[in-house]
Structure 1
């Protein structure tokens, strides 16, 4: 009965100053690093996902056209593969990440369960290969990709926990609803032990 940690989209474009920056994103990157330094050895697999969009097309309608983004289904250009915006935030220590997966390569993906490695191995296959039964989820954004990833993990039969102090959301009310939705689906909303010595991330859903 293996346990995995899924770090969702802690990227420059999703933190302060990025194309779709979330308030509290940088603080969440720092807190996840603290958590990893304390608990990485408790996981059988640590996976980090990234949006990795094409830069020469609209990624299946994900990037807005001339009419501009609606911030529901269409978005400004962000996380184009190979650009600084798609890089992990510098405060996220990725040295203990076992596998990196990429999503949104030409498609409007939100869930990390739609992601795959560079060689095409999907996240569900990775988890199955390691006989994972429990998935803990952290990252950005609570009301979008964290929500979608946690709900897909539950739908796939995993025991799921989201650490509410290790996520940051775009909209506080929508983020609170996302955490409630995960709970209704049978997931757990927990807190980590990273509070000691760290301030709560501004704008994050706690």
Structure 2
């Protein structure tokens, strides 16, 4: 968006290491484009040399949108039009993006690819709907929310068509459930898997 379309991009990331890595990749991309432009000037035409502006910051839904999203460099006063984008917006990050979209007048569009909905905090992130929060029995455990993120039909089809490896994995998961019920202390015992276990006999 920054190099291809010449748009002003502000990238927000909470991990300093990832920000430094992104800045390094930006420089590598600029150098590669400059070399390619010299070799094929009629093919590669870069209208803008502006890289994204990377910021180390956590996205907090309680933070004012003026502090989080603005200002962008060289933006006209009162004339900013923003597209809020979330890539792999995990858990409460999706909630934060929706709240900033609803409260920040400069944000005119939202493009968000959410994930890990089972990690929504409770309360605060789940449920998003105030109406759902009034329903009896709306509470869902982490395990139930995680299961709701997957299509059971897809897993059933994979088990029917997959080889013995996945089927053995399914048997192991069922056996682990029985063991946990009999010995709760063995929850997450840290036992490592064995390569090509589906080729072994049950005695082994």
TM range (shorter): 0.3 to 0.5
Task: Return the structure number with greater relative CO, CA threshold 8 A, min gap 6.
Answer: 1
State the structure with more CA Rg: 2
Which structure carries more helix by proportion? 2
- Please give the TM-score of this superposition, normalised by the length of structure 2: 0.34
Which structure carries more strand by proportion? 1
- Please give the TM-score of this superposition, normalised by the length of structure 1: 0.34
